[in-house]
Amino acid sequence: MTRTVTVIPGDGIGPEVTREALETIDALGLDLRFDVLDHVNADTYLRTGVSLSDEDFERVKASDAVLFGAIGDPRVKTSDYGRGVLLRLRFDLDLFVNHRPAALLDERLSPLRDERTRKLDCVIVRENTEGLYTDIGGVLRAGTEHEMAVDADVSTHMGVSRIMEYAYSIAKRGVCMVDKSNAVRHGGQVWQRAFQEAAAKRPDITSTHLYVDAAAMKFISDPSQFDVIVTNNSYGDILSDLAAMLAGGLGNAASANINPVTGFGLYEPVHGSAPDIAGQGIGNPFGAILSSALMLEHLGWATEADALRRAVGVAISEGRCTPDLGGVLGTKEAGEAVRNALAAA
């Protein structure tokens, strides 16, 4: 059965790296059809004021997955555009899991020179639809010296319980729950209760707890100790970027925004639109390719996903990569290096 993937290349280097990801997927010869929404971008928003039309949203819903490039343009001065595309997809499709793997592909890439760093291989599981990013709050006396701003941090037992369930479902060794319940008492109580309930159901998995400041320190001192970290939206946002840097940089970082119940997912590199290098042909395509590997794995092509990851690892180890990884290749040439490694495997 042919699967349909909606492709949203987006802004900046998004179209460049997405192009390499699609060509690499094509090289696998899978039964996939791509529905490319190349008009969902900042140009359209600036011209029409529409981030993502209802018609385009329905095209997304009718597909099996979304492969996303990047979003963001310095000409857009408000957050409405980004929220109208990426956060609308996350919230309206209830993509409550943000799945961010971090594995060191080559030891020369890590900023830490330690035996434990070379064993970095973990997943940050971030609750994706609650927390501080729900846009609940407001401003009083805006623009005055008495301005007051309030953002509500939302945690529901249902939302926290289902992210715990997902974290334990993918754990191999252990789950570490990260919060700040000693200072954020009310939401912390919800997280602690859901964590204890989930841990009781899985006595075969080691369950640990850290406050977020301690977790950040332990990540630097010994990242090999972590298997799965589960945490809220804002802490997960921060810790997953920290993990990505320890694994070699944001250019290689892949992510999945998924709903394990419906099976739908949005897959994207996390490097952003990088407008300072857009159009120069030097953006790193590996994050987009590794995000497509996550997508293939969730669509049932685990063998092909593993082949993509190995091919990226070969390209990096041989120095066939973009300048951010110490190479001299452009975006297209780096993508070709991965495809050549696939063909040679």
DSSP 8-state class, residue 190: H
CB 30 within 8 A of CB 296: yes
Of the residues 26, 80, 135, 213, only one is catalytic, namely 213
Single out the residue of 24, 115, 111, 105 nearest to residue 317, CA to CA. 105
Contacts of 190 (CB under 8 A, 6+ apart): 155, 156, 157, 160
Catalytic residue among 11, 56, 73, 133: 133
Q: Where are the beta strands (DSSP E) in the chain?
A: 3-10, 32-36, 65-70, 97-103, 121-127, 137-140, 148-151, 174-179, 206-211, 228-231, 254-258, 265-269
Decide: 338 and 315 in contact? Cβ < 8 Å: yes
Question: What are the phi and psi torsion angles at 178 (to 5°)?
Answer: -115, 125
Angle at 232 (CA atoms; ends 231, 234), nearest 5 degrees: 120
Query: Is residue 92 flagged as an active site residue?
Result: no
Q: Which of 73, 179, 237, 324 is catalytic?
A: 237
Catalytic residue among 35, 94, 222, 241: 241
Which residues lie closer than 8 Å to 278 by C-beta, 6 or more apart? 11, 12, 13, 16
Assess whether 56 carries a catalytic annotation: no
Question: Among 106, 180, 227, 267, which one carries the catalytic annotation?
Answer: 180
Instruction: Note if 218 is an active site residue.
Output: no
Give the dihedral sign, CA 87/89/95/101: negative
**Helices 286-298 & 14-26 angle (0-180, nearest 10):** 50
Known catalytic residue at 133 = yes
- Give dist(CA 259, CA 85) in Å, integer: 17
Task: Name the residue with tokens 């997280």.
Answer: 191
CA distances from 188 to 165, 209, 232, 233, 251 (A): 17, 12, 10, 13, 33
Max distance between CA atoms of the chain, in angstroms, equals: 65
Active site (annotated) includes residue 237: yes
Residues recognised as catalytic? 133, 180, 213, 237, 241
